Amino acid sequence: MALDYRIKLQPIRHRKTSVEGRSFNEEMESDRGRALNSAAVRRLQQKTQVFPLETNAAVRSRLTHSLEVMQVGRYISKRILAKLEERGELSDTGLDELGEGFVSAVEIACLLHDVGNPPFGHLGEEVISQWLQAEVIPDFEQRFSQQHDVAMLAKDLSQFEGNAQGLRILHNLQGLNLTYSQLAALFKYTRMAGEDKPADSYRQKKPGFYYAEQAMYQQVSECLQIDKGCRFPLAYIMEAADDISYCLADLADAVDKGILTIKELHDLLHDQWFVVAKNLPVEDGKFLPNILSKAMDAYQDEQLDQDHEYLLALRTRFVNGLVEQAADHYVGHHDAVFNGTYDGSLIEGDDAFSLAAKTLKKVAVNRVFCTPEVENLELKGVAVIRGLLAIYQPLLKLSFTQFWQLASNPNQSLKGFPIETRLLHKLSSKHKRTYVQEVQKLITTQQIEGDVQMLEFYHRVRLLVDYISGMTDHFALAEYQDLA
């Protein structure tokens, strides 16, 4: 039976749009406009890719990285459509009519995939998680030890995950009202943060969404017929585009910053390849060496900008090879990918393409991420994030009544708590509005008092983490310097 993308690619939103009756392709243009004009995307220009607080505009930020991922995602999508057409499956799947929206949805998912990352990169995620586990969870478990959901919520709160935070930003905090298909393309992982991690599931190795977004996740899954624990097909393409882009981009930035010379990079890649690819058949074992040889030829033939020519030749051939591999994997496992049961990445495996990507990543880890310049800036970021969390922590010490009185009356002061009053005033209005809306629902549904207080505290912690994790590198540093 043919796979029908009309089930998956639908112009349905959480809230009705002001212009009704548009096709899926037309609604994807609306999603593109919402994404490109969002504050979440603008903030990416001052968030770390590898080098925190970088002043050299040529070195990648999260925004420039996301634009590169966007292009690779478009490339993979186009190749998938071409391969399906060659197989005579484009019409049967409905993609002959939906192809334009299919490509656009992948592009925008690629653009938005990093919006949930905190300041100072992945180390920022770890610092926030460690702070939650040390400073918040013990108090949370003690306060609400009698409530039946305390263990699940404690586990949910104890992990900061950029992918889950990104969905929270787009849906709850900024309310972009993206189509369900666009949101589904962003669910890189399929496990709620409070659920136990399965031992052998690639799709659930990290949290994909928080308890606070559980209802949204269920609505999207039901509408698009995504079974529990399964991915949306376009999410595989977004993930592959990200993996292809960053493993080369980090090395190119290291060259731009003088951390590696081209000749050093060339030799490192060559040597590492023969470590990871030693068991490949002879012909497959020539894949990366051939690319490196052609890149060095381009380097030697160029007179003015040799570094650029080497990196361009390397990137072009590397990306072309891995894009073709990703598209072949998608089409070759089409049933499993469409149904979301394919438990892996489109570019992971033991073939030459996957091992080439592994080679580049390994060199980046061994020779770029661990340099004194990167590590010193990361430690600076650690101090900033820890310091900000500690500064705003008094807001978590207030009782339910005290904090609700302060948050629900933002222009008033809380008698006896001048510091907490001022700290709350500094939080984002959008974030405070989301908190108030969620807690108001709890109060009006007349739940058990203990449950209301536990869930209020859960949303209060989310409010604090939303504010600090949403900062850019430069804003976080300036905020810390102002308040510390």
In sequence order, what E strands does 116-237 have?
191-192, 207-209
Are the beta carbons of 346 and 329 closer than 8 angstroms? yes
- The reported pLDDT for the residue numbered 185 is 98
Share of the chain above pLDDT 70, in %: 98
Distance of alpha carbon 131 from alpha carbon 33, whole angstroms: 36
Q: What is the pTM of this model?
A: 0.95
Distance of alpha carbon 273 from alpha carbon 285, whole angstroms: 9
CB environment 428-448: b (16+ within 10 A), e (fewer): eebbbebbbebbeebeeeeee
Distance of alpha carbon 51 from alpha carbon 472, whole angstroms: 13
- The reported pLDDT for the residue numbered 30 is 96
Q: What is the pLDDT of residues 173-224, one digit of tens each?
A: 999 999 999 999 999 999 999 999 998 899 999 999 999 999 999 999 999 9
- The reported pLDDT for the residue numbered 224 is 98
Q: What is the pLDDT of residues 419-452, one digit of tens each?
A: 999 999 999 999 999 999 999 999 888 667 789 9
Q: Is the pLDDT of residue 165 over 90?
A: yes
Mean pLDDT score across all residues of the chain: 94
- The reported pLDDT for the residue numbered 412 is 81
- The reported pLDDT for the residue numbered 1 is 53
Please identify every residue annotated as catalytic. Answer: 65, 113-114, 242, 422
Tell me which DSSP letter residue 428 carries: -
Q: How confident is the model at residue 36 (pLDDT cuts 50, 70, 90)?
A: very high
Tokens standing for residue 437: 């809306």
Going from the N-terminus, what domains does the chain have, and what CATH number goes with each?
24-117+162-233 (1.10.3210.10), 243-363 (no CATH), 374-483 (no CATH)
Q: Sign (positive/negative) of CA torsion 121, 123, 127, 128?
A: positive
Q: What is the pLDDT of residues 239-265, one digit of tens each?
A: 999 999 988 898 999 999 899 999 999
- The reported pLDDT for the residue numbered 469 is 97
Q: How confident is the model at residue 167 (pLDDT cuts 50, 70, 90)?
A: very high
Tokens standing for residue 168: 């929270």
Q: What is the pLDDT of residues 321-377, one digit of tens each?
A: 999 999 999 999 999 999 999 999 999 888 999 999 999 999 999 998 888 888 888
- The reported pLDDT for the residue numbered 446 is 65
Q: How confident is the model at residue 96 (pLDDT cuts 50, 70, 90)?
A: very high
Output the CA angle 230-217-89, nearest 5 degrees. Answer: 45
Task: Read off the pLDDT of each residue in 386-410 and give the average, rounded to a whole number.
Answer: 94
Residues facing residue 61 across a β-bridge: 48
Are the beta carbons of 194 and 454 closer than 8 angstroms? no
- The reported pLDDT for the residue numbered 205 is 93
Report the 10 Å Cβ neighbour count for 284: 15
Are the beta carbons of 479 and 389 closer than 8 angstroms? no
Are the beta carbons of 131 and 386 closer than 8 angstroms? yes
Distance of alpha carbon 279 from alpha carbon 302, whole angstroms: 35
